């Protein structure tokens, strides 16, 4: 009763899933981001493409049997895209089977003109993305055109991507060909795919910033999540040899060799700046 009175109950959606409570949205989202519209010296080389892998799934099954209405976090996706676009890079949008990208629209910053603009610019690509299942081999034959692979977060990044053999194929290709790999928040969950079938985890020994398990364990109390997570992402990454550098869901960003990561939605602007400047300075 008290949770209902203070707005801490998760919100039931029409398909039976739950989106974050009104109070948790006030605490965890904003109508405008901290995006810095930087005029970079634009990249002029051949490696101008960035492959963005996004989830096509919406509902995450929680430990208590409820479903969380998730997808890719719009700020985590679009702020880094804004910086990389300003730096002269272009994007190829992909999902596992070519179904439309799913976003956590309850987290969309409605009063942010920059985010709104790039969302509208790429909306057709979000609605009709490349299918990794159908086109992964063609993509991997164009190594000379690519600078990086970007996997944004949102809890939806844990739906399908960690178990997808084509995601693993892309990450191994990027790793072996010295492309940059960019991710943040729950996006590194996709890295688990590289350890499928007892393969060696490609990021064993790497430092990375990831959304903390401790925060995921806390958020059901305020109705952000409708129940406990199905598993602890940090624990799984650490068990494979990753070294997590942050303990809070803050603006922490990290670069280790050609891996660039950020801790949370709050790190989206910093991650975008770090990725843009790193690619411009090293390609």
- Catalytic residue positions? 185
> 253: which DSSP letter?
E
CB of 174 closer than 8 Å to CB of 193: no
Computed from CA positions of residues 234, 238, 242, 247, in that sequence, does the dihedral angle turn out positive or negative?
positive
- The pair of structure tokens assigned to 62 is 């929680």
Q: Which residue carries 């996006």 as its tokens?
A: 187
CB of 37 closer than 8 Å to CB of 114: yes
What SS3 class is residue 30? coil
Q: Which residue carries 């903390």 as its tokens?
A: 212
Strand partners, 180: 148
Q: Which residue carries 């989206």 as its tokens?
A: 268
- The pair of structure tokens assigned to 144 is 């000379």
């Amino acid at each position: 009763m008290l949770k209902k009175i203070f707005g801490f109950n998760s919100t039931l959606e029409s398909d039976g899933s739950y989106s974050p409570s009104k109070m948790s949205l006030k605490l965890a989202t904003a109508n405008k981001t901290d995006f810095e519209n930087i005029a970079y010296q634009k990249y002029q080389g051949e490696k101008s493409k960035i492959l963005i892998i996004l989830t096509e799934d919406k509902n995450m099954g929680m430990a208590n049997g409820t479903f969380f209405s998730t997808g890719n976090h719009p700020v985590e996706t679009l702020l880094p895209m804004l910086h990389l676009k300003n730096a002269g890079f272009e994007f190829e949008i992909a999902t596992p089977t070519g179904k439309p990208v799913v976003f956590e629209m309850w987290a969309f910053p409605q009063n942010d003109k920059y985010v709104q603009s790039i969302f509208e610019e790429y909306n057709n690509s979000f609605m009709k993305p490349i299918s990794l299942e159908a086109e992964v081999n063609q993509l991997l034959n164009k190594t000379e055109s690519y600078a990086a692979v970007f996997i944004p977060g949102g809890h939806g990044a844990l739906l399908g991507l960690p178990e997808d053999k084509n995601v693993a194929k892309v990450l191994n290709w990027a790793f072996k060909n010295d492309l940059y790999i960019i991710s943040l928040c729950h996006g590194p969950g996709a890295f688990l795919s590289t350890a499928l079938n007892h393969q060696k985890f490609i990021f064993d020994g790497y430092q990375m910033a990831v959304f903390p398990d401790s925060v995921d364990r806390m958020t059901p109390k305020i109705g952000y999540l409708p129940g406990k997570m199905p598993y602890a992402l940090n624990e799984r990454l650490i068990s494979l040899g990753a070294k997590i550098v942050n303990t809070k869901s803050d603006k922490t960003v990290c670069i280790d060799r050609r891996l660039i990561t950020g801790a949370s939605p709050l790190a989206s602007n910093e991650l975008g700046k770090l990725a843009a400047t790193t690619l411009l300075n090293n390609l």
